[in-house]
Amino acid sequence: MKKSLILIVLIVVSCSSINDKYFEMVKGEWQITKLYYKEEDISSTGHYLMGFEKHNHSWIMKGEDRSNNFISSDYKIFKDLDTLKMSIKNCEDKRFDGIYNFYLDTIRDDGESYLIQLALDKEDSYIQAIRPRLKYNTPQEYEESLKNKGKE
């Protein structure tokens, strides 16, 4: 009985730490650069934003839409063998429900910051978004990194 309780606790803790790790990578607001459903280029109709809140809630919003109409959904990032996946469900726009292949890449390094690209891909939908991310939490950390580079 004790062993199974300890095992359950370990599984819950490890799953939540995995979710925390992935949430830290995606949390916040992203600018959508491509948004496709089947052959339809939805992103051609305006500027879209995507955001990840909490560890399980995401949204998409048309940037020019001042009415704050969000398309809300639940999400979960998980590993399937060696591939990262994102499950989107309970989406208010059912076209985007499903399991996506999840890609997160640094596409530019500007010294103080990165430009990060997120891509979600499934059979009939594709979402690509970008956002900048600072390398250093404070200006002091950045200055310290410059000093360390000079020593190399």
Q: What is the pTM of this model?
A: 0.75
- What pLDDT digit, counting tens, does each position of 17-57 carry? 556 677 788 888 999 999 999 989 988 888 889 999 877 89
Domains of the chain and any CATH numbers? 2-138 (2.40.128)
Question: Which helix H or strand E contains 79, and what residues bound it?
Answer: strand 70-80
Question: In this structure, what DSSP letter does residue 63 have?
Answer: T
Q: What is the pLDDT of residues 63-101, one digit of tens each?
A: 766 566 788 999 999 888 888 999 999 999 999 999 999
